């Protein structure tokens, strides 16, 4: 009995001690750790940089690793882990390192290192080895820091990231004293804009869509056409269209142009790879971030709307496009004619964008079929207005509404509708046609009229050829196709016949006077120089502005601020947010009639602002933004060490053949020429470029 009681006492005492100990020494394990561990691959492979899946799960819960930590389980698991953590699904995206500097040995040495072989040490002692103040120091601290062997020293002595091995752990970013290696998600990359302190070539600084031009050309040179398409598409979803119609402002700042007086044919190479994808019979994969559950309505399916929708969708938002016309495309469908941008090419391009899961509604006009309130009722959280500039300006002269008088956009869009079976209207074509204006619309009108069989087609423009705003290649093509040009001619009045039909255009001859505010010499009429040009069809194409008539029919838009040119006002051209906080704009509706590539850049900029707005963040411009400026010191006057080489000519249909048809007139360069042209690129960075690389 005594023994029994003794044992019972010991047992009770142990129980009390254990109960107290369990309270004192209790270690709480967050139940999310087990849940997250069950979502990882369970392979304990160490690929994530942690000792096993349990350690990786603990790191996620401790906010030391991202939900995408498991390099094997994939995006779905990452999204589920993000949900367990109650995080925005966007954080589930995979991280990848990227080295911005391609400088390598091309930037001359500036300092002796005295035996020091660490980037950090060199940076703190000497400030750097190379002339370029922002460039890579070349001692590979990032390589030493990477335990996954995902970075190696490239042939030009700068680190190259091997994407297949990179797990995005960020060790390289921490090790780099120059902030060159950046670890970014796909969304971060889509939302990157040119900044003053970035490693940017002059062409990439100039491109309104901010494409990494040297990178896509280098990929062509290496035969990586798919990579090249991905590089372009990271900034521009309309590469087939731009490859055909972009007037390539980037080429104006090409350093090769300084030595050869012939820039690299950047845009033709864009068309080459874009056509390569289309002709390959399949589409390259376009990844999207996990869904955010937020909804955006895009009004207008032109380049700005398509670009905005593309980037928002890739950032994980639900997007629906509403357009008043029967098909999407805007001016690149209804303005730019078939012989410059075939509809089947445009269809393929737009289909690829919609395939991301973007819904479209056509024949739906804002202010008539839908209103802002009806969109809000359907659960849209933000609205992008990319309504373009569809209202033709009038000349304001006597007789401009006579029979036989048209306006440019009206004429081109009505013809496009009939040409592609969306209307059965019979389009009138005169024998002697006169088009007034000097921009792309005027040139497209005259070249269309030639193809429609007009006997004589003339352009009347009040300044000289040099001042014509149309793309130079278009002006030259019109000259080859037999158009008569009447320069320094200001329309005075339209002359009618006895039946009220147009029979002539009276204009005044002009001479150039003093320069105006734009620096161009102002045309001044010469008294008594009235001249009449016979015509039975007159088209006025002197410019166009946005049609904001919805302000009268949509009560929510009554107070939307617009400018005196009817463009939609955004207080800041970089954020493109209007005075109604959930409404954003971009493209021609924000800038006035401009370029496709401008509209694409504006669409992406607006997508960034909408993304910030939807995440509840302040809508502010990009920090240290390079918006429409150049980094000082990067625009050179001479480029020593370059051998001369000639630019690849664009192949085109012979003139006598093309004026009888709407077949595409400009053709694509061959693979051999694309590679040859890619070798003309100096692979410029901020101040570096390749020397002696003549093709």
Strands 318-322 and 159-161: unpaired
Q: Collapsing DSSP states into helix, strand and coil, what is residue 44?
A: coil
The interface region with ligand FAD, picked from 23-31, 115-123, 459-467, 590-598 by CB under 6 A, is 590-598
CB atoms within 10 A of CB 621: 16
> For the chain, how far is it from start to end, CA to CA, in angstroms?
105
Query: Under the criterion CB under 6 A, does residue 587 sit at the interface with ligand FAD?
Result: yes
Query: Under the criterion CB under 6 A, does residue 331 sit at the interface with ligand FAD?
Result: yes
Query: Under the criterion CB under 6 A, does residue 388 sit at the interface with ligand FAD?
Result: yes
Taking the complex as a whole, how short is the minimal distance between the CB of residue 471 and ligand FAD, in angstroms?
Answer: 5
- Per-residue HEC secondary structure of 449-473 comes to HHHCCCCEEEEECCCCHHHCCCCHH
Taking the complex as a whole, how short is the minimal distance between the CB of residue 366 and ligand FAD, in angstroms?
Answer: 4
Place of tokens 């694409």: 600
Query: Under the criterion CB under 6 A, does residue 599 sit at the interface with ligand FAD?
Result: yes
* Binding residues for ligand FAD restricted to 229-248, rule: CB under 6 A: 245-247
Pairwise CA distance, residues 252 & 501, whole Å: 45
100, 444, 664, 666: which one binds ligand FAD (CB under 6 A): 444
Pairwise CA distance, residues 307 & 318, whole Å: 14
Query: Under the criterion CB under 6 A, does residue 304 sit at the interface with ligand FAD?
Result: yes
CA 673, 675, 676, 682 dihedral sign is positive
300, 399, 404, 601: which one binds ligand FAD (CB under 6 A): 300
84, 595, 665, 685: which one binds ligand FAD (CB under 6 A): 595
Strands 489-496 and 502-515: antiparallel
440, 448, 458, 648: which one binds ligand FAD (CB under 6 A): 440
Taking the complex as a whole, how short is the minimal distance between the CB of residue 209 and ligand FAD, in angstroms?
Answer: 11
C-beta separation of 184 from 192 below 8 A: yes
Q: Collapsing DSSP states into helix, strand and coil, what is residue 38?
A: helix
Query: Under the criterion CB under 6 A, does residue 335 sit at the interface with ligand FAD?
Result: yes
The interface region with ligand FAD, picked from 248-256, 453-461, 511-519, 596-604 by CB under 6 A, is 596-604
* Residue nearer to ligand FAD on the CB measure, 596 or 669: 596
> What number of chain residues touch ligand FAD (CB under 6 A)?
41
Query: Under the criterion CB under 6 A, does residue 308 sit at the interface with ligand FAD?
Result: no
Query: Under the criterion CB under 6 A, does residue 601 sit at the interface with ligand FAD?
Result: no
Query: Under the criterion CB under 6 A, does residue 202 sit at the interface with ligand FAD?
Result: no
Query: Under the criterion CB under 6 A, does residue 302 sit at the interface with ligand FAD?
Result: yes
* Residue nearer to ligand FAD on the CB measure, 178 or 447: 447
* Residue nearer to ligand FAD on the CB measure, 132 or 245: 245
- Stated as kind and residue range, the H or E segment containing 510 is strand 502-515
Query: Under the criterion CB under 6 A, does residue 213 sit at the interface with ligand FAD?
Result: no
- Stated as kind and residue range, the H or E segment containing 495 is strand 489-496
Query: Under the criterion CB under 6 A, does residue 173 sit at the interface with ligand FAD?
Result: no
C-beta separation of 505 from 532 below 8 A: yes
The token pair that represents 217 in the structure block: 């050309």
203, 325, 345, 533: which one binds ligand FAD (CB under 6 A): 325
**Who's near 434: CB < 8 A, 6+ residues apart?**
457, 458, 459, 460, 505, 533, 535, 537, 538, 539
* Binding residues for ligand FAD restricted to 506-525, rule: CB under 6 A: none
* Residue nearer to ligand FAD on the CB measure, 168 or 305: 305
Backbone angles phi, psi at 49, to 5 degrees: 100, 0
**Who's near 126: CB < 8 A, 6+ residues apart?**
111, 113, 116
* Residue nearer to ligand FAD on the CB measure, 365 or 432: 365
* Binding residues for ligand FAD restricted to 460-489, rule: CB under 6 A: 471
* Binding residues for ligand FAD restricted to 541-560, rule: CB under 6 A: 550
Crossing angle between the packed helical segments 225-233 and 213-221, to the nearest 10 degrees: 170
Strands 544-545 and 391-392: antiparallel
Query: Under the criterion CB under 6 A, does residue 208 sit at the interface with ligand FAD?
Result: no
Pairwise CA distance, residues 463 & 215, whole Å: 40
* Residue nearer to ligand FAD on the CB measure, 177 or 367: 367
* Residue nearer to ligand FAD on the CB measure, 472 or 655: 472
Closest CA to 333 of 245, 272, 257, 465: 245
Taking the complex as a whole, how short is the minimal distance between the CB of residue 645 and ligand FAD, in angstroms?
Answer: 27
C-beta separation of 269 from 217 below 8 A: yes
CA 466, 453, 500, 540 dihedral sign is negative
The interface region with ligand FAD, picked from 203-211, 227-235, 386-394, 571-579 by CB under 6 A, is 386-394
Interface with ligand FAD (CB under 6 A):
245-247, 299-305, 322-325, 330-332, 335-336, 365-367, 386-388, 390, 409, 412, 440-441, 444, 471, 550, 587-589, 594-597, 599
């Amino acid at each position: 009995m005594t023994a029994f009681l003794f044992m019972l006492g010991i047992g009770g005492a142990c129980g009390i001690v254990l109960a107290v100990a369990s309270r004192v020494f209790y270690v709480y394990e967050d139940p999310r750790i087990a849940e997250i561990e069950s979502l990882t691959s369970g392979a304990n492979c160490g690929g994530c940089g942690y000792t096993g899946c349990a350690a990786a799960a603990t790191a996620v819960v401790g906010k030391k690793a991202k939900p995408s930590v498991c390099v094997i389980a994939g995006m779905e698991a990452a999204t589920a882990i993000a949900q367990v953590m109650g995080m925005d699904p966007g954080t589930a995206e995979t991280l990848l390192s990227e080295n911005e500097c391609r400088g390598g040995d091309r930037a001359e040495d500036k300092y002796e290192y005295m035996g020091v072989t660490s980037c950090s040490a060199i940076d703190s002692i000497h400030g750097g080895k190379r002339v370029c103040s922002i460039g890579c120091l070349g001692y590979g601290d990032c390589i030493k820091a990477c335990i996954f062997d995902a970075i190696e020293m490239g042939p030009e002595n700068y680190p190259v990231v091997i994407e297949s091995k990179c797990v995005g752990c960020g060790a390289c970013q921490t090790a780099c004293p120059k902030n060159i290696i950046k670890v970014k998600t796909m969304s971060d990359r889509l939302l990157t804009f040119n900044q003053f302190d970035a490693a940017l070539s002059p062409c990439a600084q100039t491109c309104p869509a901010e494409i990494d031009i040297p990178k896509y050309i280098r990929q062509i040179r290496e035969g990586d056409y798919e990579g090249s398409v991905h590089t372009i598409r990271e900034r521009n979803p309309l590469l087939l269209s731009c490859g055909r119609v972009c007037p390539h402002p980037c080429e104006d700042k090409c350093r090769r142009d300084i030595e050869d007086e012939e820039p690299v044919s950047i845009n033709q190479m864009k068309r080459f790879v874009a056509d390569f994808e289309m002709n390959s019979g399949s589409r390259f994969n376009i990844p999207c971030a996990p869904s955010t559950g937020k909804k955006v309505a895009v009004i207008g399916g032109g380049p700005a709307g398509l670009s905005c929708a593309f980037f928002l969708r890739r950032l994980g938002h639900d997007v629906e496009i509403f357009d008043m016309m029967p098909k999407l495309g805007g001016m690149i469908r209804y303005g730019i004619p078939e012989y410059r941008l075939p509809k089947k090419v445009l269809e393929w391009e737009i289909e690829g964008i919609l395939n991301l899961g973007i819904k479209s509604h056509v024949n739906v006009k804002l202010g008539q079929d839908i209103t802002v309130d009806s969109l809000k009722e359907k659960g849209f959280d933000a609205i992008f207005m990319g309504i373009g500039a569809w209202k033709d300006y009038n000349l304001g002269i006597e007789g401009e509404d006579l029979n036989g008088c048209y306006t440019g956009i009206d004429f081109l869009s009505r013809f496009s509708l009939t040409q592609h079976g969306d209307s059965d209207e019979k389009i009138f074509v005169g024998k002697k046609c006169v088009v007034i204006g000097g921009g792309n619309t005027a040139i497209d009108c005259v070249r269309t009229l030639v193809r429609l069989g007009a006997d004589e087609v003339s352009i009347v423009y009040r300044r000289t050829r040099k001042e014509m705003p149309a793309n130079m290649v278009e002006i030259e093509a019109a000259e080859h196709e037999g158009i008569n040009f009447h320069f320094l001619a200001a329309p005075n009045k339209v002359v009618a016949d006895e039946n009220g039909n147009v029979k002539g255009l009276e204009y005044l001859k002009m001479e150039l006077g003093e320069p105006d505010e734009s620096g161009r010499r102002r045309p001044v009429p010469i008294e008594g120089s009235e001249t009449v040009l016979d015509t039975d069809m007159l088209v006025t194409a002197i410019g166009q502005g946005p049609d904001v008539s919805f302000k009268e029919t949509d009560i929510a838009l009554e107070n939307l601020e617009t400018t005196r040119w009817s463009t939609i006002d955004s207080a800041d051209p970089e954020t493109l947010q209007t005075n109604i906080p959930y409404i954003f704009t971009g493209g021609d509706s924000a800038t006035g009639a401009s370029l496709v590539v401008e509209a694409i850049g504006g669409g992406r900029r607006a997508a960034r602002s909408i993304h910030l707005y939807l995440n509840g963040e302040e809508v502010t411009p990009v920090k240290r933004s390079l918006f429409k400026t150049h980094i000082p010191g990067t625009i050179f006057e001479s480029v020593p060490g370059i051998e001369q080489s000639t630019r690849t000519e664009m192949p085109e249909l012979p003139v006598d053949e093309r004026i009888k048809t709407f077949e595409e007139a400009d053709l694509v360069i061959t693979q051999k020429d694309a590679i040859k042209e890619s070798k003309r690129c100096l692979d410029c960075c901020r101040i570096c470029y390749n020397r002696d690389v003549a093709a």
